[in-house]
């Protein structure tokens, strides 16, 4: 019990430290990429991670940017009001930390990085929505779907999916689908940081 309490305390301290190094950026237009946004904040300090997410209640998006130290995050607050794309952004100290991505799932080659540009991450998918229905929806709304993986388990009330399109333009268009009701729920769509990889059974 003492070991478990100690581990939870250490994790809480680590999480609080990460929050102090992170800013929340809102009012980001649909054409701005994570690379462009991270570049804007390089003058504030070294950027560790940048995650742009879609807001189902707005045509604009939001992001979390983590720096190596809290000084970088405080300096980033001065970027609030800067025009990025067609809209001025807002920058606030974040109340949450960025969840780390398992390095195994990150792109390992130029080909996989190119696949990421054509892939979106879709969450809050109703359990009744089938893979065929989801593929037909994105194909009709955005363009040809090259690959789609619908994932879920018995512990979560909704499913997630990775949708890889044939064209990067289709993936950008898919970001506008956040908030659309599918299977009774508003789906959420954001750029994927991981490529869709073939199952082992697909390789054989």
Span 19-61, pLDDT tens digits? 899 999 999 988 888 888 988 998 999 888 888 887 656 778 8
- How confident is the prediction for the chain on average, in pLDDT? 82
Answer with the residue of higher pLDDT: 37 or 15: 37
Query: Per CATH, the architecture of 103-195 is what?
Result: 2-Layer Sandwich (3.30)
The fourth-level CATH superfamily of domain 2-93 is: RRM (RNA recognition motif) domain (3.30.70.330)
Answer with the residue of higher pLDDT: 179 or 79: 79
Query: What is the Cα–Cα distance from 129 to 82, expressed in whole angstroms?
Result: 40
Confidence grade of residue 68 (pLDDT, cut at 50, 70, 90): confident
- State mean pLDDT over 134-140: 96
pLDDT in tens, 142-172: 999 999 999 887 777 888 999 999 998 999 8
Q: Would you state the pLDDT for residue 17?
A: 80
- Does residue 111 have a pLDDT over 80? no
Asked if 2-93 and 103-195 have one fold, the answer is yes
Answer with the residue of higher pLDDT: 94 or 9: 94
Indicate the domain borders of the chain.
2-93, 103-195
């Amino acid at each position: 019990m003492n070991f478990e309490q100690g581990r939870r305390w250490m994790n809480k301290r680590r999480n609080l430290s990460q929050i102090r190094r992170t800013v929340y950026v809102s009012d980001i237009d649909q054409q701005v990429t994570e690379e462009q946004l991270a570049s804007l904040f390089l003058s504030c300090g070294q950027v560790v991670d940048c995650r742009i997410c879609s807001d189902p209640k707005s045509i604009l998006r939001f992001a979390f940017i983590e720096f190596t130290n809290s000084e970088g995050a405080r300096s980033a607050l001065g970027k609030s009001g800067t025009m990025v794309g067609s809209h001025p952004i807002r920058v606030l100290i974040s109340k949450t930390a960025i969840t780390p991505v398992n390095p195994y799932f990150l792109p390992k080659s130029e080909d996989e990085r190119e696949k990421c540009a054509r892939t979106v991450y879709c969450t809050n998918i109703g359990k009744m929505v089938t893979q065929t229905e989801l593929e037909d929806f994105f194909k009709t709304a955005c363009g040809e779907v090259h690959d789609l993986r619908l994932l879920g388990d018995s512990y979560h009330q909704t499913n997630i999916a990775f949708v890889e399109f044939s064209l990067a333009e289709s993936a950008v268009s898919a970001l506008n689908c956040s908030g659309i009701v599918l299977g009774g729920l508003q789906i959420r769509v954001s750029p994927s940081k991981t490529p869709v990889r073939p199952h082992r059974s697909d390789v054989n």
